Structure 1
């Protein structure tokens, strides 16, 4: 769940203040559940949704998510023909030094 939520937290903030708050949520929150929904139409992956539920303290809950989809005739999402040749989801390496 943590690996699924990292790219969502990395791409969502629109200011440095929001980025700091999101880092604190990642650090202090407890991951509770994750929902993944994939819709296949005509043997093509039409939409893909990922939602991660977190709990902060006793009363607050946070739900972060991201949706992917194809537009018109463009096939951005590829469905593997076999589970053994499926590739891992791309991850970002935040530890690389930027030049």
Structure 2
């Protein structure tokens, strides 16, 4: 089963939201997974290494969604205009054939 892009997007944003809590937990347990203490009280390391790439990914996702929605709206409007033009031509042909 495929996970929707929207769920992925919101999960990424939740990870960024909870990065302060993740930083606190990592700063107390850093010896389990690291040789050095990277997780300072200001959260600079987790912000640069963890949160910024996630936020950049989210920005790209939003940009992609906006591009796709503009393409979809453009295609829809083009189809509407073509349909309207077709109906106008049919009306002109009917009035022309009735006048003959």
TM-score range, shorter chain: under 0.3
Provide the TM-score with structure 2 as the length reference.
0.23
- Give the structure with the larger strand fraction: 1
Q: TM-score, normalization: structure 1?
A: 0.23
Q: Which has the larger radius of gyration?
A: 2
